[in-house]
Structure 1
Amino acid sequence: MAAIFATLVGGAMPAIKEFGFNFIFSTRWDPINFVFGAGNALYGTLVSSLIAVILATPVGIAIAITLSELMPKWISYPVSIAIELLSAVPSIIYGMWGLFVFAPWFANGPQLWMLEHFSGIPVIGTLFGGAPLGQGLLTAGIILAFMILPILTALIKDALKTVPNVLRESSYGIGANTFEVITKVLLPSIKSSIFGAFILALGRALGETMAVTFVIGNSQNVSSSLFMPATSISSTIANQFNEADGLKMSSLLALGLVLFVVTFFVMGYARIQLRKGRA
């Protein structure tokens, strides 16, 4: 970890000296005039990752509860394996599926519906404006949600297994129904683990490259609309690394350094929360 960090710092030093701390917040990415900033890519990375965890977390909680508490074992076991197999699918396959299958369907169906029903609402309407292109921040977030769902489900399911059966039995014994046991006993018992799983999944989404590159649109612009094309740190590096040299190469390494630092702290915080949940 120290060697990777040192390598990134050394490679990014020319960009750091040239642009300083303003590099993180600048939204200008102009290779012609050799002016670079991480603002656009950082915005796309954070927003698409937040969309992913917001969508995937309630689904992951519901699936974990269903598998652990509601389904018989002869059904839950193969379903658990099927969900875990989603994590074995290469990210480029998710990206290709998202570009050729999901994005056209999303543009011609849900995006048109959201434009019709949400675009006129104050404040919220700005998030769902623009042309229904299929590719964009929202599409990238949904694809990422599919990718992080297995890790969320597995972590929450394991956390549920750590809850002593005596808590379930005593709750049923005093007359609680299944819904009350789940909402008032089980979920409060593992809330730290759920939060840790949330942050850990966020860290997984932050670093995703190929799937996001296919569906985010790869536009160096910041828009309030979730439908519009954007970029992320990983997709910017993947698209431009081969042709980069000099200050542009250093700026791409600086982007990698920003992503490294953000992901490191997010994952570290998640590990701390998970340990608290197991304590």
Structure 2
Amino acid sequence: MKQAPSAPAPGHAPATKAPAPRAAGTATRRGDRIFLGLSRGSGILLLAVMAAIAVFLSYRAILAISKDQGNFLTTFEWDPNSTEPVFGIAVLAFGTVVSSVIAMVIAVPVAVAIALFLTHYAPRRLSGPIAYVVDLLAAVPSIVYGLWGALVLVPHMNGLFSWLDTYLGWTGIFSWQGGPARSMLTVGILLAVMILPVITNVSREVFRQVPKAHEEAALALGATRWEVIRMSVLPFGRSGVISASMLGLGRALGETMAVATVLSPTFDIQASLLDPGGGTFAQNIASKFGEANEQGRDALIASGLVLFVITLLVNGAARMIIARRKEYSGANA
């Protein structure tokens, strides 16, 4: 004899079937669908804009290079406005890379040290005003940095150049002939000052996200404050510091007015970092665009394409470095 199903006990609701899990990337609510569509559309639009820029630069660069009477990669001359144009990017590539490397070597250690001081050493009433000043430095326009570099930094670099020539002049890289201090080293120092607030702000925010449990565990094991930073803070924030450095490097690679104001406008490569001369992609475009004819503008666009490719390669390298350090990301902490 079959037993009838028992009624649910009083006060207990009948069991309901659990809803089936939704597949990843799907949305059921109207607001979710709208937000998903806008997000996807924004990403696709960004890719389309980047592709359009690349196509435009490539097309105009091909037009310019096809008329170049020299080697675009190795020629140490820039004369695209003549009837037989001759131009190359050797000087520009050298100046862009060297000035950016100098800026990064100076700015990254100082920025990381400032960020660590503000987050782990300075008292709150002192770290607040310092952080506020750093934020203000990040908002200063480039032309203001350029004027400061030309009127203040360049006249006061003679002492440093003399010291470097006395003690390191035998290397050839730091030999000085006594000319004006409008050189690659001065530009690198100016760029370091400009990118310092960007790297400091991002690194400071990354260090603030370090789990307190990690630091307290290290302190409980008897670690000193520096050992806590070395074992817990720096490994956790390594990918963030790399990202901050890449942001600063992007600004250093593309800086225009500050470099054009400080650097001596001579199209050559000096063996010494203290001798005037050199150039960068952005500085050359800014200074030569006004006097360029159609062929000259195409040549400048071709140099801009090279800067565009260098920036993409730098960002790609940064992404690869961060991907290899996933164990230090905040998501896996």
Relative to the length of structure 2, the TM-score reads 0.77
Change (3 A) 1:270 1:278: farther
Q: Quick check: 73-82 or 204-213, which moved more?
A: 73-82
TM-superposed deviation, 1:261: 1.6
Q: Distance in 2 between matches of 1:22 and 1:155?
A: 41
Q: Distance in 1 between matches of 2:272 and 2:122?
A: 40
TM-superposed deviation, 1:268: 4.5
| Letter aligned with residue 80 of structure 1 | A
Q: Quick check: 85-94 or 31-40, which moved more?
A: 31-40
Structure 1 residue matching 2:173: 3-state secondary structure:
helix
Match of 2:268 in 1: 221
Match of 2:152 in 1: 101
Mapped contact 2:162–2:176 kept (Cα < 8 A): no
1:222-246 deviations in Å (ceiling 9; x for gaps): 1121112211111111111111113
- Does residue 164 (structure 1) correspond to residue 211 (structure 2)? The answer is yes
Match of 2:55 in 1: 6
- Does residue 112 (structure 1) correspond to residue 162 (structure 2)? The answer is yes
Change (3 A) 1:117 1:239: same
Q: Distance in 2 between matches of 1:271 and 1:204?
A: 17
Mapped contact 1:40–1:232 kept (Cα < 8 A): yes
Structure 1 residue matching 2:87: 3-state secondary structure:
coil
In the TM superposition, 1:187-266 aligns within 5 A as 187-228=234-275, 229-266=277-314
TM-superposed deviation, 1:42: 1.1
Structure 2 residue matching 1:99: 3-state secondary structure:
helix
| Letter aligned with residue 263 of structure 1 | T
TM-superposed deviation, 1:273: 5.1
TM-superposed deviation, 1:22: 4.1
Greater relative contact order, per chain length (Cα 8 Å cut-off, separation 6+): 1
Structure 2 residue matching 1:127: 3-state secondary structure:
coil
Change (3 A) 1:218 1:237: same
Mapped contact 1:26–1:38 kept (Cα < 8 A): yes
Q: Distance in 1 between matches of 2:306 and 2:264?
A: 21
Q: For structure 1, which runs of at least 5 residues remain unmatched after alignment? A: none
Q: Distance in 1 between matches of 2:72 and 2:65?
A: 7
Mapped contact 1:44–1:231 kept (Cα < 8 A): yes
Match of 2:227 in 1: 180
Q: Which runs of 4+ in 1 moved over 6 A?
A: none
In the TM superposition, 1:26-175 aligns within 5 A as 26-31=75-80, 32=82, 34-107=85-158, 109-120=159-170, 124-175=171-222
Mapped contact 2:75–2:89 kept (Cα < 8 A): yes
Q: Distance in 2 between matches of 1:278 and 1:265?
A: 25
TM-superposed deviation, 1:193: 2.2
Change (3 A) 1:173 1:43: same
| Letter aligned with residue 221 of structure 1 | D
Q: For structure 2, which runs of at least 5 residues remain unmatched after alignment? A: 1-49
| Letter aligned with residue 57 of structure 1 | V
Structure 2 residue matching 1:130: 3-state secondary structure:
coil
TM-superposed deviation, 1:173: 0.8
Change (3 A) 1:278 1:171: closer
Percentage of identical aligned residues:
39
| Letter aligned with residue 111 of structure 1 | F
Mapped contact 2:68–2:85 kept (Cα < 8 A): no
TM-superposed deviation, 1:74: 1.8
Q: Quick check: 58-67 or 174-183, which moved more?
A: 174-183
Relative to the length of structure 1, the TM-score reads 0.91
**Root mean square deviation of aligned Cα:** 2.0
Change (3 A) 1:20 1:161: farther
Q: Distance in 1 between matches of 2:197 and 2:322?
A: 17
